[in-house]
Amino acid sequence: MVNLKRKENCRVIEQKRIGRDVYSLWLETKDIASNAAPGQFVMLYGKDGSRLLPRPISVCQTKGNELRLAYRVVGAGTEEFSRLEAGQSLEVLGPLGSGFPIEEVRGKKTLLLGGGIGIPPMLEAAAQLKENVTAVLGYKDEVFLKEDFEKFCPVVYAIEDEAAEADGAIKGNVLDAVREQGVQADVIFACGPAPMLRAIQVYAQGRNIPCWISMEERMACGIGACLGCVCDAVQEDAHLRVYRKRVCKDGPVFLSTEVEL
């Protein structure tokens, strides 16, 4: 009899609001944190029966058996999670999906590009790479997690909102910051909203820089069965036999050359 996987009931160690709608949640896990790679995600299950579907949240950081998630409250489901306090528990499934290929790029000059709520998954990548890595973080107006990144690597950051005041910030988006600072890269890891990823895809392909992007889509099962979260693929997928890929199972991290954005 094979060992079957299950959800874990995880204890909340700490929850902090780190931005207007952004929360940092540390969970005590049995196996999830120690098995998680940067770029992978977990499914969080709420207790309110009116909401059936779990919420996919990227791994932000791990420390032994402790798992950190940073997420934005965008609706009732994430709002429910934001009310969790230390000592309470939460059902979690994971880690799920593909991660960034850390060992494959080690030693190469790696650029981490995070935009908005795409910033958290880059933190564990920074922590694991440690050397030859620069993080470029793009914010709309409010800065979060920047100091966490600074523990692991040099950070450049950009703010889109002209009115926002922040020392050393570049006005504009992630790619504006890359260009203005002349940041060089052998490899790019990126996560953020679709328009940002599209621009990075073009940027990387134009310069022949290998680039991995982490994608987001509405999910149901999270394990590759329901085909709810597909994206368009450049080539026919060997498993699905159509020009699609499953974000939850084949991704969320893809080579930028294998998906259509």
Partner 1 sequence: MMPEIHMGVEIAGVKLKNPVMTASGTFGSGAEYGEYVDLNRLGAVVTKGVSSVPWSGNPAPRIAETYGGMLNAVGLQNPGVETFCQRDIPFLKQYDTRVIVNVCGRTVEDYCQVVERLAEEPVDLLEINVSCPNVKEGGIAFGQDAKALEEITRQMKRRAAQPIIMKLSPNVADIGEMARAAQAGGADAISLINTLTGMKIDVHKKTFALANRTGGLSGPAIKPVAVRMVYEASHAVDLPVIGMGGIQNAEDAVEFLLAGACAVSVGTANFKNPCVTQEIVEGLEAYMQKYGMSDVRDLIGAVDAFQETD
**DSSP class of 234:** S
Residue 47 class from Cβ within 10 Å (0-12 exposed, 13-18 middle, 19+ buried)?
A: exposed
* Dihedral-angle region of residue 146 (phi above 0 means left; psi in -120 to 50 means alpha; beta otherwise): alpha
Asked if 229 is part of the footprint of partner 1 (rule: CB under 8 A), the reply reads yes
Q: Do 111 and 183 form a contact (C-beta atoms < 8 A)? A: yes
- Asked if 163 touches partner 1 (CB under 8 A), the answer is no
Residues 167-206 that bind partner 1 (CB under 8 A): none
What would the x/- binding string for partner 1 be over residues 239 to 258, using CB under 8 A? Answer: xxxxxx----x---------
Q: In what order do the strands lie in the sheet with 253-255?
A: 170-171, 155-159, 133-139, 110-115, 187-191, 211-214, 253-255
Q: Tell me if 193 sits within 8 A of 118, measured CB to CB.
A: yes
- Quick check: 233 and 245 in contact, CB under 8 A? yes
Stretch that binds partner 1, among 29-37, 126-134, 140-148, 227-235 (CB under 8 A): 227-235
| Window 93-122: residues binding partner 1 (CB under 8 A) | 93
Tell how far CA 40 is from the center of its chain: 7
Point out which span in 139-147, 148-156, 192-200, 218-226 binds partner 1 (CB under 8 A): 218-226
Contact positions with partner 1 (CB under 8 A) in 133-162: none
Q: Which stretch binds partner 1 (CB under 8 A): 97-105, 127-135, 189-197, 216-224?
A: 216-224
**Candidates 30-38, 166-174, 175-183, 212-220 — which segment interacts with partner 1 by CB under 8 A?**
212-220
Segment 41-60, which members bind partner 1 (CB under 8 A)?
45, 49-54
Among 86, 194, 225, 255, contact with partner 1 (rule: CB under 8 A): 225
Assess whether the previous peptide bond of 56 is cis (omega < 30° from 0). no
Q: Which of 185, 231, 253, 259 binds partner 1 (CB under 8 A)?
A: 231
Indicate the residue among 55 and 68 with the shorter CB distance to partner 1: 55
Comparison of 19 and 228: residue with beta carbon closer to partner 1: 228
Piece of 14-22, 97-105, 106-114, 228-236 that binds partner 1 (CB under 8 A): 228-236
92 belongs to the binding site for partner 1 (CB under 8 A): no
Smallest distance from the beta carbon of 32 to partner 1, in angstroms?
Answer: 15
Determine contact, residues 234/260, Cβ cutoff 8 Å. yes
DSSP-derived pairing of the beta strands 170-171 and 155-159:
parallel
d(CA 121, CA 248): 15
Least Å from the CB of residue 244 to partner 1: 6
3-state helix, strand, coil in the chain (%, to 5): 20, 35, 45
Binding site for partner 1 (CB under 8 A): 1, 4-7, 45, 49-54, 77, 93, 217-231, 239-244, 249
